[in-house]
Every structure is written in C-alpha cells, then in structure tokens.
Amino acid sequence: MLLSLENESETIYLGAIMANILTGGELVYLQGELGAGKTTFVRGLLNALGYLGNVKSPTYTLVEPYLIAGIDVYHFDLYRINDPGELEAMGIRDYCDGKSICLFEWAEKGASVLRKSDITLLFSYHSLGREVEIKSNSIIGKKILEFLKKTYK
C-alpha cells in the first residue's frame, strides 16, 4: 500500500487510524531518512490511544515507554546503536513480550536480534510532502494492512 502524505496532519492521521487496530503484541518497523515522519506518525498513534503528553524521539534514551489503557507501548529509536548486541544487553526480549506494542525506528540496525515486524512503514520524501509504503510481514500485519485499506481516506 502506497500513500501520499501531504503534510504533518496527514501523518498524524495515519498513526491515529493504525491505533484503532493495535491491541498489543504487534511489532511495527518505521523506516526512512531523518525527518521523514516516523516520530510524527508515532505521535499520532499514541495520541489516538489516549496519551496526551509530549512525544519525542528516543534517539538518546533508545526507548520511551508509555502505559496507555493497560497496554505497554514502547517507542524505540535504534539510530545510535552500533552493535545489535546492545539490544540484548538492554533486555529487548522483555520489551517485545508478545503483549506490548513495539514501535521501532531504525530497526534495521538491530535486524540480527529483532524478529521480523508484523508491519513495516517506509517513509520517504516526495515532492512537497511524504510518501509511505506499508508492507505486511505476518498474519497480524495482513489484518492491519487490510484495516488500513478499508479505513484510511
């Protein structure tokens, strides 16, 4: 699925739509250049789940945890990871426990440690806005993608 996102509001809206289908246990990869819209998407998703605070990229902390309506949501930014073994040292398997929603920016840096995502969003610059290509990688991902196709307008 390929979408054009003309502005920040459309990126936030996409995150909000996806929030409606996530129930816990999903692994979402967010790929794209710096400033392409990954954290903006996460902000839309978290706000739609009910989080009203500031959403920042966890570039220096590696992970920002959120507890929203009884679901743990973890926003990771692996940009500064030099060795995938660092993820093992931080206890990545405890975060990705099959119950939590895990959102990974720069997941490719931890590819040898992380399991394959359920769904991947590839953000890129396009004209004056952005494009996002959405790919499913599991049965859960296929359900998410079908939901997005039906509901994103």
pLDDT, tens digit (0-9, with 9 covering 90-100), for 5-24: 888 899 999 999 999 999 99
Please write down the HEC assignment for all residues of 95-135. HCCCCCEEEEECHHHHCCCCCCCCEEEEEEEECCEEEEEEE
- Low-confidence stretches of the chain (pLDDT < 70) are none
pLDDT of residue 118: 96
Q: Which residues are bridge partners to 15 per DSSP?
A: none
Burial class (CB in 10 A: 0-12, 13-18, 19+), 118: buried
Q: What domains does the chain contain, in order, with CATH numbers?
A: 2-151 (3.40.50.300)
The 10s digit of each residue's pLDDT in 128-147 is: 778 999 999 999 999 999 99
pLDDT of residue 11: 93
**Nearest residue to 103 via CA among 72, 130, 134, 80:** 72
pLDDT of residue 125: 81
pTM: 0.92
108: number of Cβ within 10 Å: 11
**Nearest residue to 78 via CA among 102, 46, 44, 99:** 102
* AA identity, residue 86: E
pLDDT of residue 152: 81
**Nearest residue to 107 via CA among 78, 133, 80, 87:** 78
pLDDT of residue 16: 95
